[in-house]
Structure 1
Protein backbone atom coordinates (compact mmCIF):
# COMPACT_ATOMS: atom_id res chain seq x y z
CA UNK A 1 0.00 0.00 0.00
CA UNK A 2 2.84 2.33 -0.87
CA UNK A 3 0.47 4.76 -2.62
CA UNK A 4 -0.86 5.80 0.78
CA UNK A 5 0.60 8.36 3.16
CA UNK A 6 -0.38 8.89 6.78
CA UNK A 7 0.24 12.29 8.29
CA UNK A 8 -0.94 14.58 11.05
CA UNK A 9 -4.17 16.47 10.46
CA UNK A 10 -3.95 20.10 9.32
CA UNK A 11 -6.49 22.88 9.82
CA UNK A 12 -7.25 22.96 6.11
CA UNK A 13 -8.29 19.26 6.19
CA UNK A 14 -11.50 19.98 8.10
CA UNK A 15 -13.82 20.38 5.11
CA UNK A 16 -12.70 17.11 3.49
CA UNK A 17 -12.84 15.19 6.78
CA UNK A 18 -16.31 16.56 7.35
CA UNK A 19 -17.38 15.31 3.90
CA UNK A 20 -16.25 11.81 4.87
CA UNK A 21 -17.93 12.00 8.28
CA UNK A 22 -21.15 13.57 6.97
CA UNK A 23 -21.95 10.46 4.95
CA UNK A 24 -21.99 8.40 8.15
CA UNK A 25 -24.04 11.00 10.03
CA UNK A 26 -26.69 11.48 7.35
CA UNK A 27 -26.99 7.93 5.98
CA UNK A 28 -26.06 5.49 8.74
CA UNK A 29 -26.42 4.75 12.42
CA UNK A 30 -22.63 4.48 12.74
CA UNK A 31 -22.70 7.97 14.25
CA UNK A 32 -25.50 8.85 16.65
CA UNK A 33 -25.41 12.49 15.54
CA UNK A 34 -28.52 13.52 13.60
CA UNK A 35 -26.97 16.49 11.77
CA UNK A 36 -23.46 16.92 10.47
CA UNK A 37 -21.50 19.65 12.23
CA UNK A 38 -20.44 22.78 10.40
CA UNK A 39 -16.87 23.13 9.16
CA UNK A 40 -16.27 25.58 11.99
CA UNK A 41 -17.53 23.09 14.59
CA UNK A 42 -15.44 20.36 13.01
CA UNK A 43 -12.34 22.61 13.16
CA UNK A 44 -13.01 23.15 16.87
CA UNK A 45 -13.25 19.41 17.45
CA UNK A 46 -9.92 18.90 15.67
CA UNK A 47 -8.24 21.67 17.70
CA UNK A 48 -9.54 20.26 20.98
CA UNK A 49 -8.30 16.75 20.19
CA UNK A 50 -4.92 17.72 18.77
CA UNK A 51 -4.13 19.75 21.87
CA UNK A 52 -3.37 16.43 23.56
CA UNK A 53 -3.80 13.45 21.24
CA UNK A 54 -2.90 12.28 17.73
CA UNK A 55 -5.29 12.96 14.86
CA UNK A 56 -4.14 11.33 11.64
CA UNK A 57 -5.27 11.39 8.03
CA UNK A 58 -4.53 8.96 5.23
CA UNK A 59 -3.93 10.33 1.76
CA UNK A 60 -3.83 8.67 -1.61
CA UNK A 61 -2.80 10.65 -4.68
CA UNK A 62 -3.07 13.86 -2.66
CA UNK A 63 -6.65 13.26 -1.55
CA UNK A 64 -7.82 12.29 1.93
CA UNK A 65 -9.30 8.80 2.08
CA UNK A 66 -9.72 8.34 5.84
CA UNK A 67 -8.85 9.56 9.30
CA UNK A 68 -8.43 8.34 12.86
CA UNK A 69 -7.99 10.02 16.20
CA UNK A 70 -7.81 9.38 19.91
CA UNK A 71 -9.58 11.47 22.48
CA UNK A 72 -10.00 11.70 26.19
CA UNK A 73 -12.06 8.88 27.64
CA UNK A 74 -12.64 10.71 30.92
CA UNK A 75 -11.25 13.87 32.50
CA UNK A 76 -10.49 12.07 35.77
CA UNK A 77 -6.75 11.56 36.26
CA UNK A 78 -6.92 7.83 36.88
CA UNK A 79 -8.09 7.39 33.27
CA UNK A 80 -5.07 9.23 31.80
CA UNK A 81 -3.75 6.00 30.25
CA UNK A 82 -6.99 5.20 28.43
CA UNK A 83 -8.30 6.87 25.28
CA UNK A 84 -11.37 6.57 23.09
CA UNK A 85 -10.71 6.15 19.37
CA UNK A 86 -12.68 7.03 16.27
CA UNK A 87 -12.03 6.10 12.66
CA UNK A 88 -13.74 6.96 9.38
CA UNK A 89 -12.86 5.90 5.85
CA UNK A 90 -14.46 7.11 2.62
CA UNK A 91 -17.44 4.84 2.09
CA UNK A 92 -16.32 3.68 -1.35
CA UNK A 93 -12.83 2.79 -0.10
CA UNK A 94 -13.73 0.63 2.90
CA UNK A 95 -12.19 -2.84 3.25
CA UNK A 96 -8.98 -1.89 1.45
CA UNK A 97 -6.66 -1.79 4.47
CA UNK A 98 -6.83 1.96 5.05
CA UNK A 99 -8.28 1.58 8.55
CA UNK A 100 -5.64 -0.99 9.47
CA UNK A 101 -2.86 1.39 8.38
CA UNK A 102 -4.38 4.28 10.28
CA UNK A 103 -4.79 2.27 13.48
CA UNK A 104 -1.22 0.92 13.27
CA UNK A 105 0.20 4.45 13.21
CA UNK A 106 -2.22 5.70 15.87
CA UNK A 107 -1.31 2.83 18.20
CA UNK A 108 2.42 3.47 17.72
CA UNK A 109 2.02 7.12 18.65
CA UNK A 110 -0.21 6.35 21.61
CA UNK A 111 2.23 3.75 22.96
CA UNK A 112 4.97 6.39 22.72
CA UNK A 113 2.75 8.64 24.88
CA UNK A 114 2.36 5.93 27.51
CA UNK A 115 -1.24 5.06 26.65
CA UNK A 116 -2.24 1.56 27.78
CA UNK A 117 -5.87 1.08 26.67
CA UNK A 118 -7.85 1.96 23.58
CA UNK A 119 -11.64 2.03 23.74
CA UNK A 120 -13.92 2.12 20.72
CA UNK A 121 -17.67 2.51 20.75
CA UNK A 122 -19.48 0.75 17.92
CA UNK A 123 -23.17 1.12 17.19
CA UNK A 124 -24.69 -2.33 17.00
CA UNK A 125 -27.86 -4.24 16.21
CA UNK A 126 -28.40 -7.98 16.15
CA UNK A 127 -29.79 -7.95 12.64
CA UNK A 128 -28.06 -5.65 10.19
CA UNK A 129 -30.33 -3.17 8.47
CA UNK A 130 -30.02 -0.51 5.78
CA UNK A 131 -28.52 1.93 8.31
CA UNK A 132 -26.11 -0.28 10.22
CA UNK A 133 -23.99 -3.30 9.43
CA UNK A 134 -21.56 -5.16 11.66
CA UNK A 135 -18.60 -3.68 9.74
CA UNK A 136 -17.34 -1.45 12.56
CA UNK A 137 -17.66 -4.19 15.16
CA UNK A 138 -15.97 -6.72 12.86
CA UNK A 139 -13.18 -4.29 11.93
CA UNK A 140 -12.37 -3.57 15.57
CA UNK A 141 -12.50 -7.27 16.49
CA UNK A 142 -10.12 -8.07 13.62
CA UNK A 143 -7.86 -5.25 14.88
CA UNK A 144 -7.48 -6.89 18.29
CA UNK A 145 -10.29 -5.22 20.21
CA UNK A 146 -12.66 -7.30 22.30
CA UNK A 147 -16.13 -6.47 23.55
CA UNK A 148 -16.23 -5.34 27.18
CA UNK A 149 -19.73 -3.85 27.42
CA UNK A 150 -22.99 -3.57 25.58
CA UNK A 151 -25.43 -0.77 26.28
CA UNK A 152 -28.81 -1.80 24.93
CA UNK A 153 -31.19 0.55 23.10
CA UNK A 154 -29.23 3.68 23.96
CA UNK A 155 -29.27 5.36 20.55
CA UNK A 156 -32.33 6.09 18.46
CA UNK A 157 -31.83 7.08 14.86
CA UNK A 158 -34.03 6.77 11.76
CA UNK A 159 -36.87 5.75 14.10
CA UNK A 160 -34.99 2.64 15.28
CA UNK A 161 -33.16 1.76 18.47
CA UNK A 162 -29.51 0.74 18.40
CA UNK A 163 -27.11 -0.63 20.98
CA UNK A 164 -23.65 0.67 21.70
CA UNK A 165 -20.89 -1.89 22.12
CA UNK A 166 -17.72 -0.80 23.90
CA UNK A 167 -14.60 -2.57 22.73
CA UNK A 168 -11.15 -2.46 24.30
CA UNK A 169 -7.60 -3.13 23.18
CA UNK A 170 -4.61 -3.11 25.49
CA UNK A 171 -1.58 -1.77 23.59
CA UNK A 172 1.01 -1.76 26.35
CA UNK A 173 1.60 -3.01 29.88
CA UNK A 174 1.66 0.45 31.38
Structure 2
Protein backbone atom coordinates (compact mmCIF):
# COMPACT_ATOMS: atom_id res chain seq x y z
CA UNK A 1 0.00 0.00 0.00
CA UNK A 2 1.24 3.47 -0.90
CA UNK A 3 1.05 6.34 1.60
CA UNK A 4 1.97 9.95 0.77
CA UNK A 5 2.57 12.19 3.77
CA UNK A 6 4.48 15.24 4.95
CA UNK A 7 8.17 14.56 5.54
CA UNK A 8 9.45 14.55 9.11
CA UNK A 9 13.04 15.04 10.24
CA UNK A 10 13.00 11.34 11.18
CA UNK A 11 12.80 10.61 7.41
CA UNK A 12 16.17 12.26 6.77
CA UNK A 13 18.21 9.03 6.72
CA UNK A 14 15.82 7.37 4.26
CA UNK A 15 15.78 10.49 2.06
CA UNK A 16 19.58 10.57 2.11
CA UNK A 17 19.70 6.91 1.06
CA UNK A 18 17.43 7.65 -1.93
CA UNK A 19 19.45 10.72 -2.94
CA UNK A 20 22.95 9.20 -2.57
CA UNK A 21 23.01 7.17 -5.82
CA UNK A 22 21.98 10.26 -7.80
CA UNK A 23 24.96 12.16 -6.37
CA UNK A 24 27.44 9.32 -6.66
CA UNK A 25 26.49 7.91 -10.09
CA UNK A 26 24.76 10.65 -12.11
CA UNK A 27 24.81 14.29 -13.11
CA UNK A 28 21.07 14.53 -12.39
CA UNK A 29 22.14 16.56 -9.37
CA UNK A 30 25.19 18.76 -9.30
CA UNK A 31 25.96 17.94 -5.67
CA UNK A 32 29.44 16.43 -5.62
CA UNK A 33 29.11 14.90 -2.15
CA UNK A 34 26.11 13.33 -0.49
CA UNK A 35 24.72 15.69 2.17
CA UNK A 36 24.65 14.38 5.74
CA UNK A 37 21.55 13.20 7.58
CA UNK A 38 21.78 16.43 9.60
CA UNK A 39 21.80 18.43 6.35
CA UNK A 40 18.59 16.69 5.27
CA UNK A 41 17.01 17.24 8.68
CA UNK A 42 17.74 20.96 8.33
CA UNK A 43 16.41 20.98 4.75
CA UNK A 44 13.14 19.34 5.80
CA UNK A 45 12.71 21.82 8.65
CA UNK A 46 13.51 24.83 6.48
CA UNK A 47 11.36 23.84 3.50
CA UNK A 48 8.29 22.86 5.53
CA UNK A 49 8.17 26.35 7.04
CA UNK A 50 6.66 27.53 3.74
CA UNK A 51 6.38 24.71 1.21
CA UNK A 52 5.22 21.11 1.08
CA UNK A 53 7.87 18.41 1.46
CA UNK A 54 6.29 15.02 0.85
CA UNK A 55 7.47 11.44 1.13
CA UNK A 56 5.89 8.33 -0.31
CA UNK A 57 5.95 5.11 1.65
CA UNK A 58 5.38 1.56 0.53
CA UNK A 59 5.30 -1.17 3.16
CA UNK A 60 6.36 1.39 5.81
CA UNK A 61 9.54 2.31 3.88
CA UNK A 62 10.18 5.69 2.25
CA UNK A 63 10.66 5.08 -1.48
CA UNK A 64 10.56 8.65 -2.79
CA UNK A 65 10.21 12.29 -1.94
CA UNK A 66 9.25 15.56 -3.58
CA UNK A 67 9.26 19.12 -2.38
CA UNK A 68 8.82 22.69 -3.48
CA UNK A 69 11.18 25.54 -2.76
CA UNK A 70 11.78 29.18 -3.52
CA UNK A 71 12.35 29.83 -7.19
CA UNK A 72 13.93 33.22 -6.57
CA UNK A 73 13.97 35.11 -3.29
CA UNK A 74 12.10 38.27 -4.30
CA UNK A 75 8.50 39.03 -3.34
CA UNK A 76 7.33 39.29 -6.96
CA UNK A 77 8.15 35.58 -7.40
CA UNK A 78 6.02 34.44 -4.43
CA UNK A 79 3.52 32.68 -6.73
CA UNK A 80 6.20 30.54 -8.35
CA UNK A 81 7.75 27.42 -6.81
CA UNK A 82 10.60 25.20 -7.93
CA UNK A 83 9.76 21.50 -7.68
CA UNK A 84 12.13 18.61 -6.98
CA UNK A 85 11.52 14.86 -6.98
CA UNK A 86 13.70 11.82 -6.29
CA UNK A 87 12.64 8.19 -6.23
CA UNK A 88 14.31 4.99 -5.14
CA UNK A 89 15.98 3.68 -8.29
CA UNK A 90 13.69 0.62 -8.34
CA UNK A 91 10.52 2.75 -8.22
CA UNK A 92 11.10 4.82 -11.34
CA UNK A 93 8.39 4.23 -13.92
CA UNK A 94 6.05 2.59 -11.38
CA UNK A 95 3.55 5.46 -11.02
CA UNK A 96 4.87 6.43 -7.59
CA UNK A 97 6.36 9.67 -8.94
CA UNK A 98 3.11 10.69 -10.64
CA UNK A 99 1.12 10.13 -7.44
CA UNK A 100 3.68 12.11 -5.45
CA UNK A 101 3.65 15.00 -7.95
CA UNK A 102 -0.16 14.99 -8.04
CA UNK A 103 -0.22 15.62 -4.29
CA UNK A 104 2.61 18.18 -4.41
CA UNK A 105 1.02 20.20 -7.22
CA UNK A 106 -2.38 20.00 -5.50
CA UNK A 107 -0.99 21.35 -2.22
CA UNK A 108 0.81 24.17 -4.01
CA UNK A 109 -2.33 25.08 -5.95
CA UNK A 110 -4.37 25.14 -2.72
CA UNK A 111 -1.83 27.60 -1.29
CA UNK A 112 -2.18 29.96 -4.27
CA UNK A 113 0.89 29.08 -6.32
CA UNK A 114 0.42 29.77 -10.04
CA UNK A 115 3.68 28.62 -11.63
CA UNK A 116 5.75 25.49 -11.16
CA UNK A 117 9.29 25.32 -12.50
CA UNK A 118 11.84 22.53 -12.64
CA UNK A 119 15.52 22.52 -13.51
CA UNK A 120 16.77 19.39 -15.25
CA UNK A 121 20.37 18.61 -16.03
CA UNK A 122 21.01 16.92 -19.35
CA UNK A 123 20.91 14.24 -20.44
CA UNK A 124 17.87 13.07 -18.47
CA UNK A 125 15.30 11.69 -20.88
CA UNK A 126 13.20 10.12 -18.12
CA UNK A 127 12.71 13.39 -16.24
CA UNK A 128 12.04 15.31 -19.44
CA UNK A 129 9.36 12.81 -20.49
CA UNK A 130 7.84 12.72 -16.98
CA UNK A 131 7.47 16.50 -16.80
CA UNK A 132 6.31 17.00 -20.38
CA UNK A 133 3.61 14.37 -19.84
CA UNK A 134 2.44 16.46 -16.86
CA UNK A 135 2.13 19.62 -18.97
CA UNK A 136 5.50 21.24 -18.35
CA UNK A 137 7.11 23.04 -21.29
CA UNK A 138 10.74 23.90 -21.81
CA UNK A 139 11.36 27.63 -21.41
CA UNK A 140 15.16 27.87 -21.16
CA UNK A 141 18.35 25.98 -22.03
CA UNK A 142 21.69 26.88 -20.47
CA UNK A 143 24.71 25.26 -22.05
CA UNK A 144 27.63 23.80 -20.12
CA UNK A 145 26.83 25.37 -16.75
CA UNK A 146 27.54 22.37 -14.48
CA UNK A 147 30.75 20.38 -14.30
CA UNK A 148 30.62 16.86 -12.89
CA UNK A 149 32.41 13.59 -13.66
CA UNK A 150 34.98 15.42 -15.81
CA UNK A 151 32.31 16.68 -18.18
CA UNK A 152 30.26 19.83 -18.75
CA UNK A 153 26.48 19.50 -18.54
CA UNK A 154 23.62 21.62 -19.84
CA UNK A 155 20.49 22.39 -17.86
CA UNK A 156 16.99 23.15 -19.03
CA UNK A 157 14.15 24.86 -17.20
CA UNK A 158 10.58 23.67 -17.65
CA UNK A 159 7.46 25.51 -16.51
CA UNK A 160 3.86 24.63 -15.86
CA UNK A 161 1.63 27.67 -15.52
CA UNK A 162 -1.86 27.72 -14.05
CA UNK A 163 -2.44 31.26 -15.29
CA UNK A 164 -4.76 32.00 -18.19
CA UNK A 165 -2.95 32.97 -21.39
TM (norm. structure 2) is 0.96
What CA distance in whole angstroms lies between the structure 2 residues aligned with 1:33 and 1:42? 13
Match runs of 1:126-137 below 5 Å: 133-137=124-128
Query: Does the alignment pair 1:92 with 2:93?
Result: no
Secondary structure at the residue paired with 2:23?
Answer: helix
Tell me, which stretches of 5 or more residues in structure 2 are unaligned? none
What CA distance in whole angstroms lies between the structure 2 residues aligned with 1:157 and 1:171? 34
Q: 1:172 and 1:5, CA in 2 relative to 1: closer, same or farther beyond 3 A? A: farther
8 Å CA contact 1:124, 1:137 repeated in 2: no
> How many residues are aligned here?
164
RMSD of equivalent CA atoms: 1.0
Listed one character per residue, the Cα deviations across residues 27-62 of structure 1 (whole Å, up to 9, x for unaligned) are 101000100011111111111111100000001110
Secondary structure at the residue paired with 1:108?
Answer: helix
Which residue number corresponds to residue 140 of structure 1? 131
Query: Does the alignment pair 1:169 with 2:160?
Result: yes
Superposed displacement of residue 138, structure 1: 1.4
8 Å CA contact 1:66, 1:88 repeated in 2: yes
8 Å CA contact 1:153, 1:162 repeated in 2: yes
Secondary structure at the residue paired with 1:156?
Answer: strand
Listed one character per residue, the Cα deviations across residues 91-132 of structure 1 (whole Å, up to 9, x for unaligned) are 01100011100110011100110000000000013xxxxxxx
